[in-house]
Chain A
């Protein structure tokens, strides 16, 4: 009997099959995903996502008999009161057919197939063909952090870095090519000599001693390990790319923003956050809400508490700048920002906004996205309403800066397309 501990074996033997299955069901999975996404929180991007997809396209049909019609009998346990000849009303939906749950009448098998996607799978599917904009710009810029990385082998180094395998391999090759006698060969010669002496074979003994002598001399001359054999692991310091990002969520929370608008904004923030987590090891989120003044708050407050007052957007931008200066040195952090608003702004504030944004924030940031939310605003009086103050202001900036983008969103179904549009791999004009 053998007991084998298989636990250390690699896990995920089914991963390849699972991947194939997902590929097959891709279309359905993607549709199900965008539904599932509506239920998530912004910061909550760990863990997988439960998706349920219709079984079409992934069925494995077999010949089987129809579940109704014909003449059939069942043996069933647990008789309590029936005697021969009793009749039982036919149970609905084929239950009690003696073989458990029957499939729906005409074998439709349209019941959904539910399973859990891992985080990786979820994100891969979701952000297929999306790319972070301008990632190159500051990737290696001023990155002071370095890390050791293996860089082959060298002939000099510290004993701690000695690479035993390489060294011994070289040594073996050299010993073989120089015909260095092995200890067992020498021992065999020695035995020969001894045997010759024992047998009083003077000639053999003399010849044997000579061979033995030669072999021993050669073994002494060809070293077992020679300095030329020795190899060391080599390490190099390579600059480490910035792998941390901070994401600023800016939102107008004044009275004019309805719950529905906030919900739209939330979805956008959520997408951005998930997207960033995929690219950076470490992502922090800062929530800044503003009315006529701005403050940093936690997520709960950000989305759910109401404020009253006018709207001055520049306060939020100032707050963001302050936080960046305090906590997020642009040299070490990739800075992203998303701003959501219904477009209202105090008219005198527009200049200040464009100054702040164009002059200070955009040069620091990797990307700044502005989305304008609100369905009712776009179709006032039956024809398109004039652009809002903020839209006009930002319009000029968008023309000048590549890392700024703005879109309008009126209903939840547009969120993903808009997001997709912003981050699609070939961005043309944004």
Chain B
């Protein structure tokens, strides 16, 4: 230990020891900002750092990470569970929570040591922040400046409605809407930006419109009672109605909000609120791997640079590394700790790999990634990837053979009827593309969540709502949960509901679930 002999305090250190205070935070933030903006070239929303206690962190957990939220028992349930896990020491708390808003709010815990605060600031205030601001999904689908206003509106609207209609009635609608939350998302068309004033105005308009107007569904119901017409005309009429209603529609909540015949205006508004929140989180679900990878990569680079520049001492750096390595730990499949592929681990490894390909490519890399191999611009390449990909396309584009070997990935096939699983591909020449393709598919939400659409409304008859589940690979819906969700759906639709599970390749109806009308 040469260093031990010359113990004089290096003058450049930003801080020493584990205690943090606001001055230190500010100093460290400035140093991090310098590296993040000038060396990594990040582009971030203005930052707002909020120091909170562990209890407040639990609160934040419970309201799915949002700073304001309407009241609902399910958040209480989440809180109770998190608290129990935390108290028993089964689960630590996150060091930070970051909110996709402008300014970008990062919550950091008071229990963190100064080294952890440094890590957390780099991770959240720059890593996640950059990703939120630049990734195309977030840019197109969420509105960082409007979300806090919208949540305020939502919270106030819900409590106002509770006063008018009773907590129980509101809860019934919210329960039902929550059950359909995953099916309350526009997947292909970009939703309009939210604006608090317009929201209020629109809600007011809706109430008035509703009072003044009839509903298509009511009107067209009369057609069924007319005398027999010829079959082709009826079929044509039917398609016409379906077109008018915008069917088929995969955004179930949207359809209910607009078309459900027996909802009160306030009930529609509640459905809309849940739908918007679901939409807000949709990009996050599609970019978990990249988002965490980006943030982890950024904090790793920044901590390394801080250390290289002599701004933090070895102890701080080691503490940060210790935490870093436990975050990116990936147990093997036969390890009891295995819970799927750790997005931090894979995301971070891929980003690092891209940096390596840019700087020190092997022949294999040149063959697989001719356009980036050896381009000597790792940060530019990464910024491009962060901006223009989501998990699925990112894996499909950038997972290198080298990483497949490092993770020793393999593909297993499980077919009902076979007693054994079959290994279909391993980390070898023949397997790389196969594994890459399959892994990318796993990150595709559209394949991951059941594909359910509203196909038709039987306007000529009993207004039965007809849904279809496109069954891929013969995997049906889970029966009890399906029944429960349809029950909730019935709460909103009020007439009969039929869900058909149709095999996507053969169009054969495999199973039908029905819920009677509530009159």
What count of chain B residues pass the 8 Å CB interface test? 99
Q: Is the interface of A mostly helix, strand, loop or mixed?
A: loop
Instruction: Decide if B73 touches A100 in the complex (CB within 8 Å).
Output: no
Determine whether B203 belongs to the interface, using a CB cutoff of 8 Å to chain A.
no
- What is the CA–CA distance of A7 and B110 in the complex, to the nearest angstrom? 8
Q: Which residues does chain B contribute within 8 Å of A280, judged by CB atoms?
A: none
The listed residue (A22, A59, A72, A84) touching B76 by CB distance below 8 A is A22
CB-contact partner of A70 in B55, B331, B410, B473, under 8 A: B473
Choose among B25, B77, B413, B475 the residue that contacts A58 (Cβ–Cβ < 8 A).
B77
Interface string of A93-129 (1 = CB under 8 A from B): 0001111110100111100011110000000000000
A85 vs B422: C-alpha distance when bound (angstroms):
6
**Residue A132 at the chain B interface, CB threshold 8 Å:** no
A99 CB to closest chain B CB (Å) equals: 5
Q: How many Å from the CB of B450 to the closest CB on chain A?
A: 5
Q: Which of A9-17, A177-185, A239-247, A354-362 contacts B (4 or more CB under 8 A)?
A: A9-17
Q: Which of A12, A14, A71, A83 has its CB near the most chain B CB atoms (within 10 A)?
A: A14
A99→B339 CA distance, assembly (Å)? 6
The reply to whether A63 and B59 form a contact with Cβ atoms under 8 Å apart is no
- Shortest Cβ gap from A81 to chain B (Å): 10
- The answer to whether B484 and A61 have CB atoms under 8 Å apart is yes
Interface residues as binary, A56-68 with B (CB distance below 8 Å gives 1, 0 otherwise): 0011111111111
Q: B463 at interface (Cβ–Cβ under 8 A)?
A: no
Per the bound structure, the CA–CA distance linking A86 and B423 in Å amounts to: 5
- Stretch from B10-18, B239-247, B319-327, B435-443 contacting the other chain: B435-443
The winner among A64, A71, A77, A107 for most chain B CB atoms within 10 A is A77
CA distance A276 to B498 in the complex (A): 56
A376 within 8 A of B: no
Contact with A along B464-496 (1 / 0, CB 8 A): 000001010111111111101100100000000
A204-B478 Cα distance, complex, nearest whole Å:
92
A-contact bits for B410-430, CB 8 A (1 contact / 0 none): 111111101111111111101
Write out the residue numbers on chain A whose beta carbons fall within 8 Å of the beta carbon of B471: 70
Within the complex, the shortest CB–CB distance from A174 to chain B, in Å, comes to 39
Does A301 sit at the interface, judged by CB under 8 A?
Answer: no
Category for how many chain A residues contact B: 35 or more
Q: Across the interface, do B475 and A69 meet the contact criterion of CB distance under 8 Å?
A: yes
In chain B between 43 and 76, which residues have their CB closer than 8 angstroms to a CB of chain A? 46-53, 55-56, 58-59, 62-63, 71-76
Identify which of A64, A85, A103 contacts B450 (C-beta below 8 A).
A64
A3-30: which residues lie under 8 A (CB-CB) from chain B?
Answer: 3-7, 9, 11-14, 16-24
B439 proximity list for chain A (CB < 8 A): 75
Known: A78-B331, A88-B412. A72 touches B475 (CB 8 A): yes
Does B84 belong to the interface (CB within 8 Å)? Answer: yes
Q: Is A76 an interface residue (CB 8 A)?
A: yes
| Complex Cα spacing A75 to B107, Å | 34
Q: A67 to B482, alpha carbons, bound, how many Å? A: 13
State whether B59 touches A71 (Cβ < 8 A).
Answer: no
The answer to whether A63 and B450 touch across the interface, beta carbons within 8 angstroms, is: yes
Rounded to whole angstroms, the CA-CA distance of A269 and B435 in the bound complex is 66
Question: Considering only CB atoms, which chain A residue lies closest to B108 in the complex?
Answer: A3
B334 touches A78 (CB 8 A): yes
Q: Give the CA-CA distance A5 to B21 in the complex, in Å.
A: 11
Chain B residue at minimum C-beta to C-beta distance from A103: B478
A4-B49 contact given A73-B411, A76-B333, A80-B408, CB 8 Å threshold: yes
Q: Give CA–CA (A429, B103) in the complex, Å.
A: 67
Pairwise interchain contact A77-B423, C-beta atoms closer than 8 A: no
Distance in Å from the Cβ of B275 to the closest Cβ of chain A?
A: 15
Residue among B408, B471, B474, B478 having the largest count of chain A Cβ atoms under 10 Å = B478
* Cβ contacts A to B, 10 pairs, < 8 Å: A2-B47, A9-B52, A24-B73, A65-B477, A73-B424, A75-B410, A84-B423, A89-B419, A116-B84, A116-B87
Q: Which of B179-187, B279-287, B372-380 contacts A (4 or more CB under 8 A)?
A: B179-187
* Nearest A residue (CB) for B47: A1
Instruction: Known A-B contacts: A17-B73, A58-B73, A98-B340. Give 15 more (CB < 8 A).
Output: A1-B26, A4-B48, A7-B53, A19-B76, A59-B484, A60-B77, A60-B178, A66-B477, A70-B471, A70-B476, A77-B407, A97-B414, A99-B340, A113-B77, A115-B83
**Chain B positions within 8 Å of A106 at CB level:** 479-480
Q: How far is the CA of A109 from the CA of B481 in the complex (A)?
A: 9
Q: How far is the CA of A65 from the CA of B427 in the complex (A)?
A: 29
Given contacts A17-B75, A21-B76, A62-B181, contact A67 B414 (CB under 8 A): no
CB distance from A300 to the nearest CB of B (A): 28
The residue in A68, A75, A79, A115 that gathers the most chain B C-beta atoms within 10 A of its C-beta is: A75
Q: Does B335 belong to the interface (CB within 8 Å)?
A: yes
B438 and A73: CB pair below 8 A?
yes
- Check if A96 sits within 8 Å of B480, measured CB to CB: no
User: Are A62 and B423 in touch, CB under 8 angstroms?
Assistant: no
A1 CA to B129 CA, complexed, in Å: 13
Counting from the closest, the 4 A-B pairs by CB-CB distance are A78-B332, A21-B76, A17-B76, A70-B475
Q: Please, how many angstroms separate the alpha-carbon atoms of A2 and B50 in the complex?
A: 8
Bound complex: CA A103 to CA B481 (Å): 11
CA distance A405 to B350 in the complex (A): 75
Cβ-closest chain A residue relative to B87: A116
What is the chain A residue whose CB lies nearest that of B23? Answer: A3
* A90 touches B (CB below 8 Å): yes
On whether A107 and B479 interact (CB within 8 A), knowing A14-B79, A86-B423, the answer reads yes
Say yes or no: is A74 at the interface (Cβ < 8 Å to chain B).
Answer: yes
- Least Cβ distance of A24 to chain B in Å? 5
Does residue A220 face the partner (Cβ distance < 8 Å to B)? no
Which residues of B lie under 8 Å from residue A116 when comparing CB positions? 80, 83-84, 87
Whether A63 lies near B481 (C-beta < 8 A) is: yes
In the assembled complex, the Cα of A2 lies from the Cα of B29 at a distance in Å of 10
Q: In the complex, what distance in Å separates the CA atom of A55 from the CA atom of B444?
A: 30
Counting CB contacts under 8 A, is B22 at the interface?
yes
A107 touches B478 (CB 8 A): yes
Chain B binding surface SS class? mixed
Min distance, Cβ B22 to any Cβ of chain A, angstroms = 6
Q: Is the CB of B431 closer than 8 A to any CB of chain A?
A: yes
Q: Are A71 and B474 in contact (CB under 8 A)?
A: yes
B221 at the interface (CB under 8 A from A): no
Cβ 8 A contact of A65, one of B341, B421, B450: B450
**Residues of B close to A18: CB separation below 8 A:** 76, 79-80
Known interface pairs A24-B73, A78-B335; A64-B477 also in contact (CB < 8 Å): yes
Query: Cβ of A20: which chain B residues have Cβ within 8 Å of it?
Result: 71-73, 76, 167, 171
B33 is an interface residue with CB less than 8 A from chain A: yes
Residue-wise, chain A 363-393 has the 8 Å CB interface mask toward B (1 for contact) of: 0000000000000000000000000000000
Give the Cβ gap from B320 to chain A, nearest Cβ, in Å: 20
Which of chain B's residues has its CB closest to A11's CB? Answer: B55
A65 and B478 contact, Cβ closer than 8 Å, known pairs A13-B63, A86-B422: yes
CB within 8 Å of B: which of A126-166? none
B56 neighbours in A (Cβ, 8 Å): 6-7, 9, 11, 13
A305 within 8 A of B: no
A217 to B: closest C-beta gap in Å = 51
Minimum CB–CB distance from A12 to chain B (whole Å) comes to: 7
Contact residues in A for B422 (Cβ distance below 8 Å): 85-88
**Nearest chain-A residue to B175 (Cβ)?**
A60
Q: How far is the CB of B86 from chain A (nearest CB, A)?
A: 10
Selected from A7, A103, A115, the residue in CB contact (under 8 A) with B52 is A7
The answer to whether B77 and A101 touch across the interface, beta carbons within 8 angstroms, is: no
Chain A nearest CB from B471 CB (Å) reads: 8
Within the assembled complex, what's the spacing in Å between the Cα atoms of A9 and B340? 38
- In the complex, A389 Cα to B438 Cα: how many Å? 82
Q: Which of B46, B73, B423 is packed against the most chain A CB atoms within 10 Å?
A: B73
> Contacts A19-B76, A84-B426; is A77 near B333 (CB within 8 Å)?
yes
> What residues of chain A lie closer than 8 Å to B484, measured between beta carbons?
59, 61
Q: Which of A18, A58, A82 has the most CB of B within 10 A?
A: A18
What's the nearest-Cβ distance from chain B to residue A331, in Å?
42
Q: How far apart sit A341 and B181, CA to CA, in the bound complex (Å)?
A: 60
Whether the pair B53, A11 counts as a contact (CB closer than 8 A) is yes
Q: A80 CA to B407 CA in the complex, in Å?
A: 11
